[in-house]
Structure 1
Amino acid sequence: MGGDREPSPASARPHVLLLCSPCMGHLIPFAELARRLVADHGLGATLLFAAATDTPSEQYASVAASVPDGVKLVALPAPPTLPSTAAVRERTVHAAVSSVRHVREIAQSLTSAAPLAALVVDMVSVPARDVASELGVPCYMFFTSPWMLLSLFLHLPEIDAGLVGEYRDATEPIWLPGCVPIHAHELPGSLLVGRSSDSHAGFLSVAKDTSRVDGILVNTFGALEPAVGDGMDGVAELPVHAVGPLVWTRPVSVNRDHSHVIRWLDQQPSGSVVYLSFGSGGTLTLRQTTELALALEMTHRRFVWVVKRPDEDTASGAFFGTRRGEDDDDELGFLPRGFLQRTSGVGLVLPSWAPQTAILAHASVGCFVTHCGWNSSLESILNGVPMVAWPLYAEQKMNATMLEVQAGVAVRIHADADGFFSMEEIAGVIRRLMDEEEGAGMRKRICELRDKAKQALTKHGSSALGLAHIANTWTASCSEK
């Protein structure tokens, strides 16, 4: 196993170059993957972040300040900005494609100091594969979402070619090997617009790129998704390894002092607090934010709520992060009049950013109201905290279905005919999870899954062995040159 060897001097170590598109949800597991390659397998690691904005977001700055020793994190220059009306996926792909020339320069520079073992890209950064080909090194994808989405990507060209009409009108679900059925309304938004649209074409292009790499690492584990790697015959001849759950395990350095949050949690009874966060990118409308606030009052439960400024146009309004000072404590005027005063004894409202890992690990937290982003889902599992699923965009509806139907560790909030979540529905689901037998059963299941997740990451666990196999393959290929 890679961790059994004596580490070589940093300058002579085989080096892995990792390229992450401008997605905070990708950067966090990429940083943890890089840390493990360095700490456990004696490799060097340089992590490149293909920035979409000139000024780093507060979230990026927080991660950058906490990157472990031995991992070099570099923010690449942002490309010329696309119009503000451009979709998140379009801006993300634009940044990733524009980064390739910088990746080439950095890769060539690295090879003059140490052998380059591999290039690792995310699902959006596959165009950089050409750099790996030029240098004669393998290009692997680190897929930071679940196997269920990767399986959809790998099968999508075939599914798309055989589909008559629009995805949104399909009455039969999509069946992927070993996965729960995917109904039309659960598909990523890019598939629900017209198939003649640029959005659909771009999504299909990213899906086709998935099979253009030499192998894939998936941020999941066998006990959660037993079908990892199933159904590949005739689709792609690629090695696929589950290496997760890789989540942020180090304390995050932030400008704001959040020690008061932990002190407040210390004073609350075990399992009594509802934690609410919609990830680094998720946003609600003003009306929905108001309804959620009123629902929290209705439950009479203790809570910690990470809240962002409402966005009327998109559910991913903070996708590229918030700027420093954007959401200060004195800028919560969009909350219902008197809400902060009425709930001051039972709840905390945190603008924009919170020490999520520490909060979920705290014994006083009883459930997590989440957008079902994959990082948040894995963090909740690793801490044995059952989830209230409130998906917003991307593959989050698929994640929510898998967590509820297959894993049995989440309960979904259901919207009305207009897609709105009422205060009664929100409060009712929270009460089910916090007070009723259903919640107790879910808590038992997620604690069992937590133990299996931790086992997968131990030295002889399935995920650790999968990563060790790949790291050893990369190292051996360097020594053969």
Structure 2
Amino acid sequence: MGGDGGELNNNEVKVIQPKPHVVLLTMPAPGHMFPTIALGKVLARQGVKVTFLSSGCVAGKLLRVVEEEEELDMSIGTVLEDPLPEPENPLALVPWVAKLPPDEMVEHAYQLIQKLSPPACCIISDVFLPWTKELAEKLGIPRHFLVTMSASALSFMFSVPHFADQGLLPLEPSTEVEFPVPGVGNVAKGDVWEYFVKGNPFQFDPMIQCLQCLTESFPTATYLVNSTEELEPKVFRALTEPVPFTGQVAKVVSIGPLEQSFAFKGGEADSFELTEAAKSKKLSSEVEEWLDAQPDSSVLYISFGTIFSPQAEQVLELAHGLEASGQRFLWIIRLPDVPHIMVSKQPTKEEISAILPPGFEERTKGRGLLQSSWAPQPKILSHRAVGLFMSHCGWNSILEAISTSTPILGRPCFVDQWLNATFLEDKFQIGTILRDTGEGGFDRGRIETGIRLMMEGEEGRVARRNVARLNKVLRDAVTPSSGPSSKNLEQYVGEIFAMARKLNLSHVS
């Protein structure tokens, strides 16, 4: 030990361990980026150095986040400037990423990570980046996964290679079949992702190989899921058992909700509250003043996420249904067939008026408000006037709705949203689903009925009770020190520190 005054004896050497350094690789889509950023912040607050890597099209967005959190040890890097034009349709995003040259991606990322100081001890990759397996092997460090979807979606993904081996996928549209998924039950044909349906414009057979790579990582990987065991208990229990068809056990860890916008406030408050960063994101004065003037729980908030772009006929049907319902509404409206929210052009009021039924704005004046610009969704959902959320059923939006005790009128659009919608209606019972017309269309009559049921009927009252109950489930999950997700994250951070110590020892030896 040191002598008096804290001086070191001559024979003592003080060893300062460098910070653990983790590299997070994300998909260039908001629904994947936001949870990845949230995880990075959690790790950085617990003493881990974090480097975000992504393709060039999202580097600027990541940079803004890093700049907002100057006190945290976070940085960004670009794996590859995108050699292909960014896809116009969101369903083409995963195929687009898969078509980026994997050898080039691996080499660029390898060269960048090799230069990091202190050296990276672990990669945490999005599940749709199969090339990170080769990258981790080349670096000689573990690769773990962040699952930005639900545990139910993960269980489905684990099962896809087996269904493909059985010849059930890709799916023939005329085939009547259900897919038994551990912890989930039988997944209906209508809940199968578009990538696996023959004849669908976005059929993408290599997705099956991508998910095969996911299951091949069972022996070494940790799967960090943005959910909580109490929200999906049957699924998480099933995921602790050997995965059928492989006989191996995956290390699946619940760490959700990974939410940038809400923080749990214990004590007398015992509630989720907007973080300071979320509070700083301002509503437009028009939206704020309009919401402030509405009665409690009287407004239907409509948003289909950052990616979905409606067809012209869908906009018309939704407008007619809204008008007929007689309810107050705040509609984040998009021009039809615009690629996605990443576009910089702001539509004019004239362009918005042109896609609506003649006279719609005048007839709904006072009880309805249209917004075509980006709006901070958590802040809107937190407003006392909002009583219902018409949503695309993206997993992040579902977690935000539960965090604000807001029931959902769901209209899923693609990929995991169909399964999410089934869960929120049948298992969570926090909303009802607007079924489409069979060809992806909206139906004004169903929209009117759904809005009335949820705003005025018994279905809405039941959903409000259930979403308040699940709100407590999420609060309990992230209670500091005692919540299951909080404890899982603390344990995982401990594992990161252990990985870093092991890496440092190997470098010394």
Global fold match (TM > 0.5): yes
**1:314 alignment partner in structure 2:** none
Q: Could you tell me which of 208, 213, 216 is aligned with 2:223?
A: 216
**1:42 alignment partner in structure 2:** 47
Is the Cα–Cα contact under 8 Å of residues 194 and 202 in structure 2 kept in the other structure? no
* Offset at residue 354 of structure 1 (A): 1.0
* Offset at residue 78 of structure 1 (A): 3.0
Post-superposition Cα deviations, 1:274-304, rounded to whole Å, max 9, x if no partner, equal 0010101011110110111121111121111
The one-letter code of the counterpart of 1:397 is W
Moved more, 83-92 or 424-433: 83-92
Q: Could you tell me which of 300, 303, 309 is aligned with 2:335?
A: 309
SS in 2 for 1:175: strand
CA 1:13–1:397 in 2, change beyond 3 Å: closer, same or farther? same
Measure, in 2, the Cα distance between the counterparts of 1:66 and 1:440: 40
* Offset at residue 267 of structure 1 (A): 1.8
Post-superposition Cα deviations, 1:458-477, rounded to whole Å, max 9, x if no partner, equal 22211111122221112112
Task: Work out which of the two has the higher radius of gyration on C-alpha atoms and give 1 or 2.
Answer: 2
Given the alignment of the two structures, is residue 239 of structure 1 paired with residue 243 of structure 2, yes or no?
no
Is the Cα–Cα contact under 8 Å of residues 65 and 253 in structure 1 kept in the other structure? no
Is the Cα–Cα contact under 8 Å of residues 370 and 388 in structure 1 kept in the other structure? yes
Q: Could you tell me which of 17, 25, 30 is aligned with 1:19?
A: 25
Structure 1 unaligned blocks of 5 or more: 1-9, 312-316
* Offset at residue 421 of structure 1 (A): 2.1
Post-superposition Cα deviations, 1:225-268, rounded to whole Å, max 9, x if no partner, equal 11212453453432110111112315469998624323321221
Structure 2 unaligned blocks of 5 or more: 1-15, 262-274
CA 1:428–1:164 in 2, change beyond 3 Å: closer, same or farther? closer
Measure, in 1, the Cα distance between the counterparts of 2:27 and 2:423: 25
* Offset at residue 345 of structure 1 (A): 1.0
SS in 2 for 1:169: coil
Post-superposition Cα deviations, 1:416-475, rounded to whole Å, max 9, x if no partner, equal 344422211101101101111111111111111011111111222111111222211121
Q: Could you tell me which of 290, 309, 327 is aligned with 2:347?
A: 327
Given the alignment of the two structures, is residue 407 of structure 1 paired with residue 428 of structure 2, yes or no?
yes
**2:161 alignment partner in structure 1:** 157
Tell me the TM-score normalized by structure 2. Answer: 0.83
Post-superposition Cα deviations, 1:9-49, rounded to whole Å, max 9, x if no partner, equal x993111110001111100011100111111x211111123
CA 1:440–1:63 in 2, change beyond 3 Å: closer, same or farther? farther
The one-letter code of the counterpart of 2:50 is A
Post-superposition Cα deviations, 1:206-242, rounded to whole Å, max 9, x if no partner, equal 2112124411101111122112124534534321101
Is the Cα–Cα contact under 8 Å of residues 367 and 434 in structure 1 kept in the other structure? yes
Measure, in 2, the Cα distance between the counterparts of 1:61 and 1:369: 31
**2:305 alignment partner in structure 1:** 279
Measure, in 2, the Cα distance between the counterparts of 1:179 and 1:43: 35
SS in 1 for 2:301: strand
Measure, in 1, the Cα distance between the counterparts of 2:470 and 2:383: 18
Measure, in 2, the Cα distance between the counterparts of 1:378 and 1:257: 21
> What is the CA RMSD across the aligned residues, in angstroms?
2.8
The one-letter code of the counterpart of 1:88 is L
CA 1:60–1:108 in 2, change beyond 3 Å: closer, same or farther? closer
Q: How many residues align?
A: 459
**1:7 alignment partner in structure 2:** none
**1:5 alignment partner in structure 2:** none
The sequence identity of aligned pairs, in percent, is 27
Measure, in 2, the Cα distance between the counterparts of 1:84 and 1:467: 35
Given the alignment of the two structures, is residue 477 of structure 1 paired with residue 494 of structure 2, yes or no?
no
| 1:74-473 mapped onto 2 (5 Å cutoff) | 74-81=77-84, 87-95=92-100, 97=102, 99-110=105-116, 113-163=117-167, 167=171, 168-193=173-198, 199-213=203-217, 214-226=221-233, 227-228=235-236, 229-234=239-244, 235=246, 236-249=248-261, 250=275, 251=277, 258-311=284-337, 318-319=339-340, 321-332=341-352, 333-459=354-480, 460-473=482-495
Is the Cα–Cα contact under 8 Å of residues 170 and 205 in structure 2 kept in the other structure? no
Tell me the TM-score normalized by structure 1. Answer: 0.88
Moved more, 370-379 or 461-470: 461-470
CA 1:282–1:68 in 2, change beyond 3 Å: closer, same or farther? farther
